[in-house]
Structure 1
């Protein structure tokens, strides 16, 4: 007997279900007008953008969030973080005020809106990514809220329709002593301050710091603490939205254009990817030659110092070590002819015939001198970024490539750091903690700041370098350039600029 099943839902009513209850409803096209600089990111964007915009906008925002997280791990104060982030925000994610008259205002706000939702998709897959994303997005919102124009900020808050219950005059007088005690004796006249009554769970920061009076499950929040209230609302809504997004992610597997981009972005939350641009980071006047590599190696990051030391010890490197090091040398400005001289002299145990047959072609290929048309047109391969070194081709026995902060044991890492001159126990302890937290790029930056602490202090005190020129390093070649510039301050005016790397997916 065939059993027939019937739906309990009246088919006539299916078409009129509330669209908000349809988890995967197809959004209608909507071109948003952004009236405020601040955004709670409640409404997902639905207007069309190109795939190039989709990826580049997300990468720019990721750069900002990664730098914010770095500030947090370095225990920078809120004021130090805000000062450090200003030039970085102006560069990657600017947001003009409504009164600025900027012609790019709507474009800036659209980029901010879209980039948030793109990264929300990328970081909703696991609890750890959701927690980190919510935390740094909250930090970003707090910075923007604090620097926003007072009138614009208040106009934005009024659009949120937050259900804060105003505390009446009678209740304020009844609890006047308690309210003043929670405020550290402020205000002297209870009539001079307005208060709101909210569920205590909505203002955890104020409760933790004992800055509010609690009664019957409610927190009595003074008006001057509006920042904490709005930020708490932002975080609460963000956490809920990320949970909903995580449930919708399986549908994205149907789009083979977006999934690889989102996967790449989520992996890059470790350290944003970067492409080294020799045009923007060349060192005019510097002696970048085969005979000078030993001297220049003092400015190399630990990964390249390890390769250089291994090469000098063994007169040989295996394939991935040669490739990683060749591309790095290419990135610092060593030309093909000099690079071939360097490798030939370094492989001293081999005859000319063996070197020419087994190694010469690979060096020429890396420079784009041989190979297919696309390789030659693109001038060969690009130097590896930290992200690529961290995530691709982990080293095996007898190999020296990779990232020592990730691929070495803590004992071997400590020994290598001591061999290159890092003796400070506090720095070594900090590196160990960074390694345990898998913050490998922060460990590298910690060592850089230790090795250049006097020079960094000088350029900061003199104001010759801005925060953007001292932001977290995410590329070995940027490490070298910044180290070289700092160690040669005042010696060669032609090279005294901060330089940077170009971000890419």
Structure 2
């Protein structure tokens, strides 16, 4: 059915024949037709999916920043090599010890297979999640398809059962002039070319670019456009599978092991990043952590904090009060920043200047200490990541917590940007447009770049997007100290419930 290219003198035919026969995953490429059936642990279930999520989050960020495909390919190459390595079959035959390498390759492909289906479960939960997941997964598949060894790629395609039909020669002669008009470069050899008949909606990119002849709903696709056809087929199949998964998902609601994990994953994707965070205490010139005092908080927050924490601080300063979830969000942020509990109590007592000591001690002292793990269950609660701020405890009309890029109206977001930052009208509109499109982390990252004179695309350093308010604060502090804004070692946040003691408004 297909005419495939070959490479003279490079052993391509041999590679094409060297699918890893007798193994579960003979090819690096995968259309994910069948779900995995092997046993895995819950830790592997979540860990493999989180690794894939990091790659997909980078892809979505690249799209939101309007990266061109060459730049996007470089981004995927970098992140995939870190979190989702997938070696070709040539790796198992190029050096000695092939049996050991084949086992490693099979494990890589198992991780790829399992993680894809785990994220299918997580992102079939809503139309918005499905749309974003399909977009990112299709880009990842396109990268794998384009970077695969040509002989291995052709061997994989020949193994698939694509429902495409070769155009009959008599029909091709009938539409010869139309086909030559659409493909002028093929005109001299149009009679010897081969065309595949495909429903037009399976190749929307080719139709949009007028790269195919369409007659009665059928697109005539030359075989040299085969990759576009394969990508469209992948996308259509994934759409169907996600819709089927969404219909079956209610049956998982009673599974106490899986549902929290799936919610965790989908929460991270909506925030544009995983819920990992860095130990973001401020580091001084001597390399030691800075002990933040109550007197330092206002200046630090107004100079270095992201908009969400800046808004909380300004609201607290103006009204001398924050409602429960706002206090919780801000208290944990300050704790992670390096504010000791004694200084935290002093800071909050000063800010709540309109209430009596007795009221403060009865209604707020316990909750502040509880956030530091000194009361109640004595758990060391982590500061809230962007994912949790965006997805959990949405603010009401009188609340100040949440993510401004997610929860503010465009008018209020514009007013906040104008009040707190010096940004040009064009930059402000760019940030607001990213927020409107649902790319809240891109909007916050772009604000960091604009206000810190950082090149577009560099983010917090090395292309890192904002995933945690404390990471934003740390990167801003590092730049102010004259250092590089680099990524620090990350540790996964626990999924423990936040302190809810005495939720007094």
Query: Compared with structure 1, are the counterparts of its residues 86 and 451 closer, same or farther at alpha carbon in structure 2 (3 Å cutoff)?
Result: farther
Cross-structure match for 1:153? 153
**Is 2:296 the counterpart of 1:292?**
yes
SS in 2 for 1:100: helix
1:82 CA drift (Å): 1.9
Distance 2:456 2:129 in 1: 34
Label 1:104 to 1:337 Cα distance change in 2 as closer, same or farther (>3 A).
farther
Q: Within 5 A, what are the aligned runs for 1:411-450?
A: 411-450=411-450
**2:63 is the counterpart of 1:72:** yes
- 2:471 pairs, out of 462, 473, 478, with 478
How far 1:381 sits from its partner (Å)? 0.8
1:426-469 Cα distance to aligned partner (Å, 9 max, x none): 333344444444443333233223223x3235969xxx953xxx
Secondary structure class of the residue paired with 1:456: coil
**For residues 114-162 of structure 1, what are the alpha-carbon distances to aligned partners after superposition, in whole Å with 9 as ceiling and x for unaligned?**
1111222233344443333323221221122112222221221111132
Q: 1:500 to 1:194 in 2, by over 3 A?
A: farther
2:455 is the alignment partner of 1:456: yes
Q: Distance in 2 between matches of 1:334 and 1:188?
A: 75
Quick one: structure 1 residues 279 and 403, their matched pair in 2 at CA, closer, same or farther if it must change by over 3 Å?
Answer: closer
d(CA) in 1 for partners of 2:222, 2:283: 55
**Alignment match of 2:40 (pick from 19, 40, 49):** 49
In 2, Cα distance between equivalents of 1:268 and 1:407: 17
Query: 1:98 — aligned with what?
Result: 89
Change (3 A) 1:320 1:225: same
Deviation, 1:70, is 2.9
DSSP 3-state at the match of 1:384 = coil
Gaps of 5+ in 2: 1-21, 93-100, 496-505
Segments of structure 1 that go 5 or more residues without pairing to the other structure are 1-30
* SS of match in other structure, 2:88: coil
Q: Which residue of 2 aligns with 1:24?
A: none
Which residue number in structure 1 is paired with residue 270 of structure 2?
A: 270
Relative to structure 1, is the Cα distance of residues 456 and 294 closer, same or farther in structure 2, using a 3 angstrom cutoff?
A: farther
Q: Flag the 1:104–1:479 CA change in 2: closer, same or farther, 3 A.
A: farther
With over 3 angstroms needed to count, the CA separation of the structure-2 counterparts of 1:165 and 1:350, relative to structure 1, is closer
TM-score, normalized by length of structure 1? 0.79
Matched, 1:390 2:393: no
How far apart in 2 are the matches of 1:184 and 1:421? 54
- 1:459-496: CA deviation from partner (whole Å, max 9, x where unpaired): 69xxx953xxx2332211122222333444xx24xx65
RMSD of Structure 2 on Structure 1 (CA): 3.4
Q: CA deviation at 1:327?
A: 0.9
TM-score by length of 2: 0.79
Q: Helix, strand or coil for the counterpart of 1:276?
A: strand
1:11 aligned partner: none
Contact 1:203 1:228 in 2 (8 A): yes
- Range moving further from structure 2, 250-259 or 307-316: 250-259
Q: Distance in 1 between matches of 2:64 and 2:292?
A: 38
Mean CA deviation greater in 173-182 or 404-413: 173-182
**Could you tell me how far 1:44 is from its partner in structure 2?**
0.9
Mapped contact 1:328–1:477 kept (Cα < 8 A)? yes
Partner of 2:8 in structure 1? Answer: none
Change (3 A) 1:438 1:197: closer
Distance 1:281 1:47 in 2: 45
Q: What's the secondary structure of 1:104's corresponding residue?
A: helix
Q: Is the 8 A contact 1:280 1:499 kept in 2?
A: no
Q: Which moved more, 1:266-275 or 1:306-315?
A: 266-275
How many residue pairs get aligned? The number is 459
